[in-house]
Structure 1
Amino acid sequence: MSAVVAAPGTHATRFELVSHWHIAAPIDAVWAALKAAEQWPRWWRYVKRVDELRAGDADGLGAIRHFQWSSRLPYGVAFDVEVVEVHAPRLMRGRARGQLVGEGVWELIPEGDTTRVRYTWCVDLNHRWMRWIAPLAAPVFRWNHDGVMRAGAHGLAQHLDARLLDAY
């Protein structure tokens, strides 16, 4: 499961969520699928739409995309992500702004013919109702995030015609 914690010295509306996937696919295939965010709605059930607002360089650095997500709960979120760091095929960092504000980092580690994926999502809630209920709703937000991320792991494995070895 992902961890949801208030960062030290901050209020309860700042979260750090960490997800781990282990996919029986080579790192280059996993990297290519994650880098092609506009294609995520085809295989990640909670990603409703991804629009490119600005193209990045050949590695994707500088790209800005607008994401629209649904969730296991009766709400969705929308935010823009700018790719601010790329070390292909191992690391991609993006900064989010919109209903969520913060940073997401994809880290890929090859392990034989498989790939371990770690996604760290550090965000502040920027939506009034979410901020208001955050102190009490953290376990529900964690449950929701875990399900959305597990769906991504399953969808990616299916998209790559690979086995999902683990997702938590």
Structure 2
Amino acid sequence: MDAANRYRLTTLWLVDAPRAAVWEAIVQVEEWPGWWRGVERVVTLETGRAGGGLGTRQRFTWKGALPYRLSFSSCVTRLEPLCLLEGRVEGELEGSGRWRFGGDGGRTWVRFDWRVRTTPAWMNRLAPLARPLFRWNHRVLMHAGGIGLARRLGTRLAFQATWST
């Protein structure tokens, strides 16, 4: 597998809102299209244990600033309420995503780690040259997510950054 097709991306948001409110907004993924620009569709394929916990599978369709869409399914593999949400993804992206939450009082930090590889042949052919654009597109989507989350919660996004390793 070509390293150009693999992505290790991390986003950090600092939101002026209680952790419970931030957690609820993130775990209610079917509502993301209403507040996260770039999330076109989320469909629950299978409800996991405890009505939405481990084993829940959803199908996502994303559209960033570039003229393409990506679809993939995600299955929740680890869940620690108010602290951690992990999942495996497959489809046009394959790998894993991990949401971590921290902070106290009225300020919450959210860290999202995305460790994926692309599967569409056209992306893989272009990756050696277009990789910086694909990373930029991810940053655009995550920026929109942070702004949308803050708006949804009626607060402000105090800080955000996205980087690749």
TM-score tier, shorter chain, comes to over 0.9
- Work out the percentage of aligned pairs sharing the same amino acid: 42
Mapped pair 1:135 → 2:131: no
CA deviation after TM superposition for structure 1 residue 149, in Å = 0.1
C-alpha spacing 1:10/1:75, structure 2 compared with 1 (3 Å): closer
Any unmatched runs of 5+ in structure 1?
Answer: 1-8
Aligned-partner SS, 1:117: strand
Residue of structure 2 in register with 1:6 after alignment: none
CA deviation after TM superposition for structure 1 residue 111, in Å = 3.8
C-alpha contact (below 8 Å) 1:16/1:120 kept by paired residues: yes
Residue of structure 2 in register with 1:42 after alignment: 34
Residue of structure 1 in register with 2:66 after alignment: 73
Number of residue-to-residue matches in the alignment: 160
- Whose helix proportion is higher, 1 or 2? 2
Distance in 2 between residues matched to 1:11 and 1:153, nearest whole Å: 28
Mapping of residues 72-151 of structure 1, within 5 Å: 72-151=65-144
Aligned-partner SS, 1:162: coil
Aligned-partner SS, 1:131: helix
Residue of structure 1 in register with 2:13 after alignment: 21
In the superposition, the TM-score normalised over structure 1's length comes to 0.92
Between 1:154-163 and 1:107-116, the stretch displaced more is 107-116
CA deviation after TM superposition for structure 1 residue 133, in Å = 0.9
Aligned-partner SS, 1:72: coil
Any unmatched runs of 5+ in structure 2?
Answer: none
Mapped pair 1:159 → 2:152: yes
In the superposition, the TM-score normalised over structure 2's length comes to 0.93
Distance in 1 between residues matched to 2:66 and 2:106, nearest whole Å: 36
Distance in 2 between residues matched to 1:147 and 1:42, nearest whole Å: 17
AA aligned opposite 1:71? G
CA deviation after TM superposition for structure 1 residue 10, in Å = 5.8
What do the CA deviations read for 1:34-60 (whole angstroms, capped 9, x no partner)? Answer: 000000001001000100000012362
Distance in 2 between residues matched to 1:10 and 1:151, nearest whole Å: 29
What do the CA deviations read for 1:88-117 (whole angstroms, capped 9, x no partner)? Answer: 111000100000000000001114311001
Aligned-partner SS, 1:12: helix
C-alpha contact (below 8 Å) 1:35/1:60 kept by paired residues: no
CA deviation after TM superposition for structure 1 residue 162, in Å = 1.2
Aligned-partner SS, 2:67: coil
